[in-house]
């Protein structure tokens, strides 16, 4: 892509650059020889009664430094981009340099990552070097949503407990990072019934984990739970294939208490974990998966 | 050479250099071929001081990187790890303020000593002077004294001359490279560098800096010499702002010396109408910047005092009293003060102000260095997960703490949190940090719902208290905020 709307600007810049260099050289040549009043070695210019301008010559090598800068400029403009939009003989660009440096860095770390990739996740989770890299990858990429301690927040699942929406095996974690996940709870009010029936189901759901609830309402809601069982299972244990959460543990990703559960049944919710397959290389994902896998298994920590 | 003339009392006259012949206007170049200066070697009281300074500064510069300390070099600037070791100090990039302090201190020391004693720095301590002195000594040993060197340079390029010149440049290059090597030795452990030198196994930057600094030394001290002071050095030009009429300068006593002239020993001066100056020209011959000190104070003069030593030697031979050229002040010369005169005028506002500021900065710097904690803590609040509610409705915030150990022992730090009722860490936290290393840890801070209700939603200040366990009692308190959601 051109840097300019019209190539005329490029020519304009190039001409201005060359003319400026030529002007510098001309100035140097003109200034190198000058008429000086010989009698007292002043220019003859007297002002403020007795101030005179003396000729205090610079050393000649100083002038050659000036010439050197001109030669350098010419050489630079031939080799590197600078003269309008000319690319220069070396065809250098900051983008190409950046890419070359990245390629070199990847090549440098390749053997390390190759060794990591060949190590199974449970073993890798005990490797302090890999986990230090994993921690940095996590802090820079995952902590934005899941928190620096991976314990998440409302709507963002904790990765440090044993409760896994999509499964906690190394393969499942790798798949989650690579492809992302989209969990969808449809609005279920129509399937459950009226507002009172929704409240009863909510109390039944709360009873599953032994959370504070209305026992009578929960008893009444048990039958209505059939509508939920399709995804959450008849016992409410959830289904990692669908990302349907386990309702029997005391983990409340989208809010705790009767009100929050009623709201969820009524409105449903779509929650997305974006895919990171293009952001990382496969060995990086492997290291990250090992780090995440190890978070909920302190015994496996290095 | 400027023509000698009696120096008037109050002004330093500008004497235009007279052109060779005609008074006709003519075209001359504004650039001038450099005229090599051949300073004559000189012995004397001040020369001893100058050589003492050469030895002192160079012993420090060449020696420090070799001095072992706590199992490493006493002074090591590890740029790759970003740790700066100065004897017992371990400095992080965050400690750059101390460098600022040291630089301000150096500036004020320069002001102070210049106001007091003129260009003391230029004459005795500046690397440009010191290395020129060393290189001149080499030149003197190999090519001989001033006269011999001039003849030698003018002579034909025979085998003898080529051999001598080669020897001189070889020694210069060796000194230059050793200087470059030492310089790099402040950034790479010098013993490692020494081992690498034998196998020529330097890294690319080590190659560059050894050679660059070596070449700079060779060029500056071998060729540029006084031209650095005359054309490049900014300090040489702004020092006049620190001078006053009671500042010590190297000056020629025209009242005593003029009229000048040659004479036999024991000539009756009054009868011959002569002053004490015998016009031998030695003061001009020894001058490393090529001026005649008898023309008065000139900006080129670096106050190296070579002319004082040279003149005193002549005065001794002539059985005149010393000090025809001497350290004196402008007022001392003009008002004919005795030797103690300038001393009585030392306590001037300029000197007192520079001195007071210098003392204050020095005291502040030393105090802050002595009291600095050997631990640094950085608290970074999680920005996206603002706050969350955990078991029993407790409010939880997450922080990342970076603990930087500025000691050379392994340290265990205990972390606590304070500043709000009921605020506490989710888990007791201790962290071990290796010597001169930094380590991150993630911490959750919790607050019971009752306190949160009292405080109300919003941001509330808390403090992380980090203390070293063990005999080191370093303690750091770092502020942050705790968020309570609506």
> Which 3-state string (H, E, C) describes B158-186?
CHHHHHHHHHHHHHHHHHHHHHHHHHHCC
Task: Give the residue range(s) of CATH 2.60.40.10 domains in chain B.
Answer: 375-484
Q: How many helices (H) and strands (E) does chain A have?
A: 13, 6
pLDDT at B334: 84
Q: Which backbone phi and psi does B442 adopt, to 5 degrees?
A: -100, 135
How do residues B100-157 score in pLDDT, each as one tens digit? 999 999 999 999 999 988 999 999 999 999 999 999 999 999 999 999 999 999 989 9
Hey, CA dihedral for A199, A200, A204, A205, is it positive or negative? negative
pLDDT at B19: 46
pTM (2 decimals)?
0.81
Q: What is the mean pLDDT of chain B?
A: 89
Which of A40, A52, A57 is closest, CB to CB, to B18? A40
N-to-C CA span, chain A: 50
- Contact residues for B390 (Cβ-Cβ < 8 A; gap 6+): B396, B446
Contact A59 B389 (CB under 8 A): no
E strand segments, B58-209: 68-69, 72-73, 75-78, 83-86, 89-91
Q: Which residues in A lie closer than 8 A to residue B26 (C-beta atoms)?
A: 35-36, 38
Lowest mean pLDDT among A30-34, A134-138, B177-181, B218-222: A30-34
Q: Does B18 touch chain A (CB under 8 A)?
A: yes
Residue A283 · residue A112 · CB < 8 Å: no
Distance from CA of A184 to the nearest CA of B (A): 22
Q: Does A89 touch chain B (CB under 8 A)?
A: no
Q: Which backbone phi and psi does B352 adopt, to 5 degrees?
A: -65, -40
Q: Which of B1, B2, B223, B385 to mutate to test the interface with A (most CBs of A within 10 A)?
A: B385
Distance, in Å, from the CA atom of A157 to the CA atom of A245, rounded to the nearest integer, reads 11
Contact B31 A55 (CB under 8 A): no
Distance, in Å, from the CA atom of B102 to the CA atom of B99, rounded to the nearest integer, reads 5
Cβ-in-10-Å burial (0-12, 13-18, 19+) of A80 comes to: middle
User: Could you read off the pLDDT tens digit of each residue along chain A, which spans 302 residues?
Assistant: 456 678 888 899 999 999 999 999 998 887 776 666 556 677 777 888 888 877 777 888 888 888 999 999 999 999 999 888 888 899 999 999 999 999 999 899 999 999 999 999 999 999 999 999 999 999 999 998 998 889 888 889 999 988 899 999 999 999 999 999 999 999 998 888 889 999 999 999 999 988 888 989 999 999 989 999 999 999 999 999 999 999 998 888 888 788 999 999 999 999 999 999 999 999 999 999 999 999 988 765 55
Is CATH 3.50.30.60 the right assignment for the domain spanning B375-484?
no
Distance, in Å, from the CA atom of A201 to the CA atom of A225, rounded to the nearest integer, reads 6
Domains recognised in chain A with CATH numbers: 7-79 (no CATH), 103-180+274-300 (1.10.760.10), 184-273 (1.10.760.10)
Q: Which of A59, A136, A150, A161 to mutate to test the interface with B (most CBs of B within 10 A)?
A: A59
Q: Which residues in A lie closer than 8 A to residue B442 (C-beta atoms)?
A: 148-149
Distance, in Å, from the CA atom of B42 to the CA atom of B81, rounded to the nearest integer, reads 48
Q: Does A301 touch chain B (CB under 8 A)?
A: no
How do residues B5-60 score in pLDDT, each as one tens digit? 444 455 566 665 554 544 556 667 777 788 899 999 999 999 999 999 999 999 99
Q: Which residues in B lie closer than 8 A to residue A38 (C-beta atoms)?
A: 19, 22-26, 28
Give the SS3 label for residue B41: coil
């Amino acid at each position: 892509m051109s840097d300019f709307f019209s190539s005329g600007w490029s020519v304009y810049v190039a001409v201005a650059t060359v003319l400026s260099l030529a002007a510098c050289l001309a100035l140097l040549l003109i200034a190198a020889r000058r008429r000086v009043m010989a009698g007292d070695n002043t220019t003859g210019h007297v002002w403020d009664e007795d101030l005179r301008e003396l000729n205090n010559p610079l050393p000649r090598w100083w002038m050659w430094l000036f010439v050197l800068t001109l030669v350098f400029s010419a050489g630079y403009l031939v080799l590197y981009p600078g003269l309008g939009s000319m690319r220069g003989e070396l065809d250098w660009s900051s983008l190409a340099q950046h890419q070359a440096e990245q390629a070199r860095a990847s090549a440098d770390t390749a053997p390390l990552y190759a060794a990591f990739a060949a190590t199974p996740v449970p073993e890798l989770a005990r490797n302090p070097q890999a986990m230090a890299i994993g921690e940095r990858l996590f802090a820079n990429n995952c902590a934005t949503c899941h928190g620096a301690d991976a314990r998440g927040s409302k709507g963002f699942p904790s990765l440090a407990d044993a409760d896994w929406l999509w499964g906690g095996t190394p393969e499942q974690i790798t798949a989650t990072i690579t492809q992302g996940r989209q969990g969808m709870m449809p609005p279920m009010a129509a399937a459950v019934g009226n507002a009172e029936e929704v409240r009863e189901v909510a109390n039944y759901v709360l009873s599953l984990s032994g959370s504070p609830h209305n026992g009578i309402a929960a008893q009444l809601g048990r039958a209505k739970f059939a509508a939920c069982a399709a995804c959450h299972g008849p016992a409410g244990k959830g289904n990692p294939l669908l990302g349907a959460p386990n309702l029997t543990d005391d983990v409340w990703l989208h809010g705790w208490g009767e009100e929050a559960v009623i709201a969820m049944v009524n409105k449903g919710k779509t929650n997305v974990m974006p895919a990171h397959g293009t952001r990382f290389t496969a060995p990086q994902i492997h290291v990250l998966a090992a780090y995440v896998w190890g978070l909920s298994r302190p015994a496996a920590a290095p | 050479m400027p023509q000698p003339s009696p120096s008037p009392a109050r002004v330093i006259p500008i004497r235009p250099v007279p052109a060779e012949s005609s008074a006709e206007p003519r075209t001359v170049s504004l650039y001038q071929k450099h005229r090599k200066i051949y300073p004559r070697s000189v012995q004397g009281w001040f020369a001893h001081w100058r050589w003492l300074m050469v030895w002192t500064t160079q012993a420090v510069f060449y020696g420090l990187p070799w001095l072992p300390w706590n199992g490493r070099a006493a002074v090591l600037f590890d740029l790759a790890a970003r740790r700066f070791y100065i004897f017992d100090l371990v400095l992080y990039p965050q400690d750059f303020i101390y460098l600022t302090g040291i630089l301000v201190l150096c500036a004020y020391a320069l002001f102070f000593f210049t106001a007091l004693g003129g260009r003391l720095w230029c004459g005795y301590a500046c690397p440009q002077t010191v290395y020129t002195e060393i290189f001149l000594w080499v030149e003197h040993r190999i090519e001989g004294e001033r006269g011999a060197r001039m003849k030698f340079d003018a002579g034909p390029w025979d085998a003898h001359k080529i051999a001598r010149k080669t020897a001189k440049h070889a020694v210069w290059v060796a000194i230059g490279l050793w200087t470059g090597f030492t310089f790099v030795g402040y950034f790479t452990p010098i013993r490692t560098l020494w081992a690498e030198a034998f196998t020529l196994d330097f890294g690319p930057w080590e190659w560059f800096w050894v050679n660059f600094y070596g070449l700079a030394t060779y060029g500056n001290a071998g060729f540029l010499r006084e031209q650095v002071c005359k054309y490049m050095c900014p300090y040489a030009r702004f020092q006049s702002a620190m001078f006053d009429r009671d500042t010590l300068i190297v000056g020629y006593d025209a009242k005593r010396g003029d009229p000048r002239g040659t004479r036999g020993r024991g000539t009756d001066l009054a009868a011959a109408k002569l002053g004490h100056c015998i016009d031998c020209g030695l003061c001009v011959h020894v001058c490393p910047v090529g001026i005649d000190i008898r023309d008065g104070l000139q900006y080129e003069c670096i106050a190296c005092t070579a002319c004082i030593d040279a003149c005193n030697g002549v005065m001794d031979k002539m059985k005149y009293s010393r000090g025809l050229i001497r350290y004196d002040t402008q007022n001392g010369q003009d008002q004919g003060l005795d030797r103690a005169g300038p001393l009585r005028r030392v306590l001037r506002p300029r000197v007192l102000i520079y001195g007071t500021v210098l003392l204050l900065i020095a005291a502040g710097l030393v105090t802050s260095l002595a009291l600095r904690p050997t631990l640094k803590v950085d608290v970074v609040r999680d920005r996206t997960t603002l706050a969350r509610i955990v078991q029993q409705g407790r409010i939880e915030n997450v922080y990342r703490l970076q603990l930087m150990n500025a000691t050379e022992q392994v340290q265990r730090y205990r972390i606590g949190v304070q500043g709000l009722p009921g605020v506490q860490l989710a888990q007791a936290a201790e962290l071990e940090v290796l010597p001169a290393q930094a380590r991150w840890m993630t911490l959750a801070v919790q607050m019971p719902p009752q306190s949160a209700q009292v405080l109300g939603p919003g941001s509330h200040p808390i403090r992380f208290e980090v203390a070293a366990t063990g005999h080191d009692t370093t303690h750091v308190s770092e502020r942050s905020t705790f968020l309570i959601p609506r």
